[in-house]
Structure 1
Amino acid sequence: MDLVLAKGKEKLSLALEDGRIMAVLMPAVAQGDCDEEKEMRRSLEQPIGSPRLRELVAPGKTVAIVTSDITRPCPSRKMLPPVLDELAAGGVRKEDICIVFALGSHRKHTWEEMESLVGPDILREYRCIDSDADDCVEVGVTSRGTPVEIHRPVVEADIRVCLGNIEYHYFAGYSGGAKALFPGVSTPRSIQANHRMMVEDGAVTGKIEGNPVRADIEEVHGFLPIDFIFNVVLGPGKQILKAVAGHYVEAHRAGCAFLDSLYKFPLERPADIVVVSAGGYPKDINMYQAQKALDNARFAVREGGCIILVASCPEHYGSATFERWICNAVSPEKIIEDIARKFELGGHKAAAIALALRKARVFVVSDMDEDVARSLFFEPMDSIEGALQEAVAQCGEDARILVMPMGGSTLPVITA
């Protein structure tokens, strides 16, 4: 079988004998299955649990549209035009609209990156800004003690609209929904307080009910209403397959159910070797992002098996705190012990990687410097074929191989 795996903006080929492949976890979706424009406008015309957006606004009302930053695959450039049309139909002026990029704990954008996210026309005609942790307002404290601090322009807007794409999240269950607002446009203090619950039972990928992180996130609506969401589910080629709009919970759950129908894969047994790609740019812009694919692969590999991670990571670590945790670590096990004793945002990514290393040997095919890869306790390889040779040497010639070309979006579930 000839397979293609994305690394950054390039495609790597991998040939495997059919008899050696346990499974290839790819959604059965053909390119172009969905008319993207038609699907987006359909969802906006038929919102779930909410009136149409044009009916929620009025002339003179100010609107904050919160959308994803450059590290996310959310197609803001496609999603914004129909949303802006809805707002115009409701009488909202361009000068009363602010488009806010949800940075979370990520770096600020360059002008060129903003232009790539929304297009030159929208960037020129509308106010587009990065969220700013130094200009936030505390709007409340959740029942779990999380201070909710939100970017001031979003707080001061009359109407808040959240855009995003729905995919699996390794401790919030799923992305999308209220997550754009909180922790998307929040402060490190708030994010850390929310993310500290990642070590609690229920804080796992693909889980909503009983997930303390997701429940904490959605309490934000009680302090600062989310008036409307517009989320999409993407296909293997990052094309829009499904759009949901409306209520911040009801529409989001409909999107999650659709995602599960495509990307959740039951497996009778774990694999000996998992070959996983983060999905290419921008999901593998740095290890802070690519780690999500490694985490999903962890659910598919047996104890003592091997994971081959394909991720470009030209920006290497992607977070100064994450880098400090990795570079100061004496072992993966010590990272897990330290994060349990004292949680720190950024360190949580190091702990998640350590959990994968606790279960399996990890080879990486990337554009990182070798010393960076080794600092992560990975074994750097020049090619997937070379990594496979090493993995087979450990696991045996009859090793069962599982391939995950869209590792950040694909959730294997062992049913046995």
Structure 2
Amino acid sequence: MWLPYGRGKLQVDLPAAARPTVLSAPNASPIADPDDAVRRCLHEPVGSPGLPELAAGRKSACIVICDITRPVPNHLFLAPMIKILLDCGMPRSEITILVATGLHRPNLGAELAELIGDPWVLDNVEVVNHDARDVADLVDLGVTPTRGTPIHLNRRFVEADLRIVTGLVEPHFMAGWSGGRKVIAPGIAGHQTIRTFHSHRFMADPLATQCNLDGNPLHEDQLDIVRAVGEVYALNTVIDDERRLLDVFFGDVLQSHADAVTAAARTSTISAERRFRTVLTSSAGYPLDKTYYQTIKGMVTPLDILEPGGTLLIASECSEGLGSPEFVAAQRELIARGADAFLDHLSTKQMADIDEWQSQMLLRSQRMVRIQLYSTGLSAEQQKLTGVEVIDDLGQGISDSLRRSGDDSLAIIPDGPYLIPRLAPQEHQSHS
């Protein structure tokens, strides 16, 4: 087997007796002419006028893009969007691209050039990284009506005459689906907004899970935040496992996102007829496997098809180590306190400390299954802070798991958190 790993592939030698079931995305044909698809969607949107009509008479624009952790095909749509704005008479000095870093680090230099994907864009408009900690650069829009989440958003975005968010729609293990409203919050929100979203009461809600929007508290608060902002438009993309464009939608932020979710669900979810005691997966390679922090997503998404007490083996390069200093601190605290005391501590907080929510999500998996991590990017000290078992041979790990379980069958999910396996309904009923 070959798994995505860093910028390449990792060979995994399966035991001779293993009976693998490979779960891959349903076949979908990439768009033959992505440039034409982008042009058409900008002129024939859903739920709004076309971009030329929207831009007419506007004095400024802010286009929000995801940060480097998401493989969004920015090279396909940023230049066409900006050229339309310029053709409509908007001064290039009044066009800003805002990188939705959330509480992640800024994207700079060669990394920023890779993220933008088109030198013309960098040469012609200003590109700015959002800073969730810069209070002076935030606008206070009150609180959400149901849960009282503070609404602090980037000033450049709120005060722009034309507001556009862009992104990738894929399963998200808490917000249901990425893209659309999520690019605003937490993408360009202040640290108080983000830390409230990531607090224990949101994370522990059973409806805050992958591929679910109904009753999902994060999604509902995100919709309230969009309403507080007012007029917002979005360009949402759907890609395949080779990062090729499958669908693109432009228009009203809510409607274009809903259409993209429908499209993404066709290629990012798959039904499995049974549970497995051994599952092999990855963190989907670069850019998601740059840190252990992001790797935890791949530890949560396969849980529906894992037998409790089974083994989840995951490959992630972690070329940038564990993640932020705040996440490292959270992992130290988790290990020092123990799982129960750590969760009790989190439950007392109105706002989570930065990045500790990911340690909480790790426990969702740890309490159900045995986790084994293969990574070549972590030092011995960093390995201790993962809180999971780090192994140096995936093949041996698989062999050991099959022997422990007394079952030679295993599921393999090459693309990690980008593909969500769901247990077939009849199996759910038999386990209820």
Shorter-chain-normalised TM-score: which range? over 0.9
Find the counterpart in structure 2 of residue 139 from structure 1: 141
Opposite residue 121 of structure 1, the aligned amino acid is: W
Contact 2:29–2:246 at 8 Å: present in 1 too? no
SS in 1 for 2:194: helix
TM-superposed deviation, 1:261: 0.8
How far apart, CA to CA, are the structure 2 residues paired with 1:391 and 1:34?
Answer: 43
Find the counterpart in structure 1 of residue 393 from structure 2: 383
Structure 2 residue 161 is matched with structure 1 residue 152: no
Find the counterpart in structure 1 of residue 430 from structure 2: none
SS in 2 for 1:322: helix
How far apart, CA to CA, are the structure 1 residues paired with 2:186 and 2:344?
Answer: 26
How far apart, CA to CA, are the structure 2 residues paired with 1:92 and 1:285?
Answer: 38
Structure 2 residue 68 is matched with structure 1 residue 70: yes
Identity between Structure 1 and Structure 2 (%): 28
Mapping of residues 174-189 of structure 1, within 5 Å: 174-189=177-192
Find the counterpart in structure 1 of residue 196 from structure 2: 193
The verdict on how the C-alpha distance between 1:30 and 1:206 changes in structure 2, with shifts beyond 3 A counting, is closer
The more displaced of 353-362 and 366-375 is 366-375
Find the counterpart in structure 2 of residue 249 from structure 1: 254
Gaps in structure 2 of 5+ consecutive residues = 428-432
TM-score when normalising by structure 1: 0.94
Mapping of residues 225-264 of structure 1, within 5 Å: 225-264=230-269
The verdict on how the C-alpha distance between 1:380 and 1:85 changes in structure 2, with shifts beyond 3 A counting, is same
Structure 2 residue 110 is matched with structure 1 residue 124: no
Find the counterpart in structure 2 of residue 58 from structure 1: 56
Contact 2:203–2:361 at 8 Å: present in 1 too? no
Structure 2 residue 114 is matched with structure 1 residue 105: no
Find the counterpart in structure 2 of residue 321 from structure 1: 326
Find the counterpart in structure 2 of residue 372 from structure 1: 382
TM-superposed deviation, 1:305: 0.4
TM-superposed deviation, 1:34: 3.7
TM-superposed deviation, 1:409: 1.0
SS in 1 for 2:418: coil
Find the counterpart in structure 1 of residue 285 from structure 2: 280
Contact 1:9–1:281 at 8 Å: present in 2 too? yes
TM-superposed deviation, 1:311: 0.7
Contact 2:58–2:162 at 8 Å: present in 1 too? no
Structure 2 residue 303 is matched with structure 1 residue 298: yes
How far apart, CA to CA, are the structure 1 residues paired with 2:403 and 2:181?
Answer: 46
SS in 2 for 1:284: helix
SS in 1 for 2:289: coil
The more displaced of 402-411 and 89-98 is 89-98
Find the counterpart in structure 1 of residue 361 from structure 2: 352
Gaps in structure 1 of 5+ consecutive residues = none
How far apart, CA to CA, are the structure 2 residues paired with 1:375 and 1:178?
Answer: 33
Contact 1:332–1:357 at 8 Å: present in 2 too? no
How far apart, CA to CA, are the structure 1 residues paired with 2:3 and 2:49?
Answer: 42
TM-superposed deviation, 1:338: 3.0
Contact 1:199–1:340 at 8 Å: present in 2 too? no
How far apart, CA to CA, are the structure 2 residues paired with 1:345 and 1:370?
Answer: 24
Opposite residue 139 of structure 2, the aligned amino acid is: V
Deviations 1:34-90 (A, max 9, x none): 432222223222211111111112245200000011111112222212222332343
Contact 2:172–2:178 at 8 Å: present in 1 too? yes
Opposite residue 306 of structure 2, the aligned amino acid is: V
How far apart, CA to CA, are the structure 1 residues paired with 2:234 and 2:265?
Answer: 19
Opposite residue 262 of structure 2, the aligned amino acid is: A
Opposite residue 169 of structure 2, the aligned amino acid is: I
Contact 2:17–2:408 at 8 Å: present in 1 too? no
How far apart, CA to CA, are the structure 1 residues paired with 2:31 and 2:53?
Answer: 31
How far apart, CA to CA, are the structure 2 residues paired with 1:264 and 1:152?
Answer: 37
Aligned residues: 413
The verdict on how the C-alpha distance between 1:325 and 1:148 changes in structure 2, with shifts beyond 3 A counting, is same
How far apart, CA to CA, are the structure 1 residues paired with 2:362 and 2:170?
Answer: 19
Deviations 1:386-410 (A, max 9, x none): 32123223222x2321111111211
The verdict on how the C-alpha distance between 1:332 and 1:394 changes in structure 2, with shifts beyond 3 A counting, is farther
How far apart, CA to CA, are the structure 2 residues paired with 1:377 and 1:66?
Answer: 35
RMSD of the TM alignment (CA)? Answer: 1.9
How far apart, CA to CA, are the structure 2 residues paired with 1:27 and 1:154?
Answer: 35
Opposite residue 232 of structure 2, the aligned amino acid is: D
Opposite residue 165 of structure 1, the aligned amino acid is: L
How far apart, CA to CA, are the structure 2 residues paired with 1:37 and 1:117?
Answer: 18
Structure 2 residue 351 is matched with structure 1 residue 341: no
How far apart, CA to CA, are the structure 2 residues paired with 1:67 and 1:148?
Answer: 20
The more displaced of 321-330 and 23-32 is 23-32
TM-superposed deviation, 1:228: 1.1
Opposite residue 368 of structure 1, the aligned amino acid is: L
SS in 2 for 1:293: helix
Contact 1:165–1:232 at 8 Å: present in 2 too? yes
How far apart, CA to CA, are the structure 1 residues paired with 2:384 and 2:312?
Answer: 15
TM-score when normalising by structure 2: 0.90
Contact 1:74–1:165 at 8 Å: present in 2 too? yes
How far apart, CA to CA, are the structure 2 residues paired with 1:187 and 1:63?
Answer: 20
TM-superposed deviation, 1:178: 1.2
Opposite residue 164 of structure 1, the aligned amino acid is: G
How far apart, CA to CA, are the structure 1 residues paired with 2:341 and 2:322?
Answer: 19
Find the counterpart in structure 1 of residue 315 from structure 2: 310
TM-superposed deviation, 1:212: 0.8
How far apart, CA to CA, are the structure 2 residues paired with 1:339 and 1:266?
Answer: 34
